[in-house]
Amino acid sequence: MLTKCAGHGQRGCMLKILLLAFALGLDAFSVSFSAGICNLGVKDALILSLSFGFFQFIMPLLGVFFGRFLGAFITGWAPCLVAFIFITLGIVIIYKGNKKGGKKLSCANFMGLNVLYLSIGTSLDAFSSGIALGLMDQKVLFPSVVIGITAFIMSHAGILLGRNIRSHLEKWSDEIAGGILILVGIAILLKM
């Protein structure tokens, strides 16, 4: 058996892992879609996708490891911090886009240190999942690998989709990209 899954066969367990991985990858997909709208370069798109995948992989492992010590503290404030990061970045993208007068979305919002912030922000729910998996005495390495690979694929798909519809939405690219980040932030707050 690939992983311990109480009362379920290997197929049922794998389905649960895939569903969890998909759910955890949705934030990364949404943010990556915004990056695709700005027409992020190939190298930077790969860096963003790899970073999202890596953080989605490592966070459940860290959740199990640190869960006993930090679980209650992290779960209390993390959603607010993540929502703040997404909403602030969304507002900045919209503001800068409208201020430039015709020059559209800057890919700089999805490069450099912002990649780290976005990667951490999109993967804190994976940290919480790691805490939960650890408390249920589940093995977490294989699910973490599946979660990371799924996040990478979903991130890259989001970038490609955003890039492909960019020409149809270019006039509103700042508002759409910023709006998506704001909506992700609001959705995080509503989940609390």
Give the Cα separation of 178 and 95 in Å (integer). 9
> Could you say which DSSP state residue 170 is in?
G
How does pLDDT run along the chain (192 residues), one tens digit per residue? Answer: 244 555 556 777 788 888 889 988 888 898 899 888 877 888 989 999 999 999 999 999 998 887 666 555 656 666 776 678 778 777 877 776 666 555 555 666 777 888 998 899 888 888 878 877 776 667 789 999 999 999 999 999 999 998 888 777 666 767 777 788 788 788 878 876
Q: Is pTM beyond 0.75 here?
A: no
Domain map of the chain by residue range? Answer: 10-191
Give the Cα separation of 59 and 124 in Å (integer). 7
Smallest Cα–Cα separation from 151: which of 40, 37, 16, 51?
Answer: 51
